[in-house]
Amino acid sequence: MAQQAAEHTHDTDLLIVGAGPTGLFATYYAGFRGMRVAVVDSLPELGGQITAMYPEKQILDVAGFPSVKGRDLVEGLVEQAGTAHPAYFLDRTASTLTEDDDGVTVGLDDGTAIRAKAVLITAGIGKFSPRPLPAGDGWLGRGLEFFVPSFAPYAGKDVVIVGGGDSAFDWALHLEPVARSVTVVHRRDAFRAHQRTVDAVRASSVEIVTKAEVSALKGNGVLESVDITVDGETVTRPAQAVVAALGFVADLGPLQQWGIEVEKRHVVVDSSMRTNLPRVFAAGDVTEYPGKVRLIAVGFGEAATAVNNAAVVIDPSAHVFPGHSSEGS
């Protein structure tokens, strides 16, 4: 999808901040409600965390899909969102928000100002950066990576994955038939990953080394081996690739300065997905309310709820309930 060139001011009905699954579905739904829509995201590509972190992962909790690859889900959402003819502002950060009686103006970090009648925040976990591997200093891009967007580069390699969460075990499971060997190294003997995935990895040829840490990466220009320290003793293993799946640090960035009520890095909303600011709504993983469940499927429903309630703010003569999409005009 082509990125719109920087311009001084852009006028729209609804500005969506965040181009992950929830933001993309909200874009489609805004078009369905007849709105002009603009979308801003700090990443250079559409799809949010899925595109950046696990495009090859099979997603199992999206209605209508017994299993769908992350990349395929994003492609479908982008095609669906395209029916709204949105203006995309990618690789840019929504920095400032000012309000007046007729709407809001959001300033981007490149100087662009977007004038909107309402804003919908679908920023997920916000801007994120991976936690570093202490032993990996200087090795990024030379054998060390934080994400596995494609499995093909690991074919025939000895791969060491550091971490005990869902990403570590998902990548281990998917790389096992591709790589020459896969070893998971974790500092504890308990894992944060889903038990079913852990059981699948245990049943595979993947070696799991616990109560251990990768203490050194070695090689002459390119990665050749790693040192793994277990109970005070160090062993050396061949490795042409190390994946540091140690999680990431995330924050809402400039959004926290907009005057929005925030609780533990999440935006507080009511049942209409409205924040404490009258023209600002939120949906998806970024939101917080009693009983909140952070799933893609939940985000889709919240997107529709937010857009339908924003429709009345944008046009007071509109109705919250739009009718069913299956009904004829």
- Rounded to an integer, what is the distance from CA 132 to the centroid of its chain? 19
Contact 24, 70 (CB under 8 A): no
In the block, tokens 């899925």 appear at 50
The reply, when asked if residue 49 is annotated as ligand binding, is yes
Residue 190, both tokens: 């308990």
Q: Are strands 233-238 and 225-230 parallel, antiparallel or unpaired?
A: antiparallel
Contact 222, 140 (CB under 8 A): no
The reply, when asked if residue 326 is annotated as ligand binding, is yes
Residue 154, both tokens: 């690991």
The reply, when asked if residue 27 is annotated as ligand binding, is no
Q: Which residues of 105-120 are buried (b: 16+ CB within 10 A; e: fewer)?
A: bbbbeeebebbbbbbb
Q: Burial, 258: exposed, middle or buried (Cβ in 10 Å; 0-12, 13-18, 19+)?
A: buried
Contact 274, 121 (CB under 8 A): no
Phi-psi category of residue 253: left, alpha or beta, with phi > 0 → left and psi -120 to 50 → alpha:
left
| Sheet with 158-162, side-by-side order of all strands | 144-145, 241-244, 158-162, 181-185, 207-209
DSSP secondary structure of 256-280? GGTT--EETTEEE--TT-B-SSTTE
Give the separation between CA 310 and CA 329, rounded to whole angstroms. Answer: 22
Contact 119, 281 (CB under 8 A): yes
The reply, when asked if residue 54 is annotated as ligand binding, is yes
The reply, when asked if residue 231 is annotated as ligand binding, is no
Numbered residues of the known binding site: 22, 41, 49, 54, 94, 128, 285, 326
Numbered residues of the known binding site for FAD: 22, 41, 49, 54, 94, 128, 285, 326
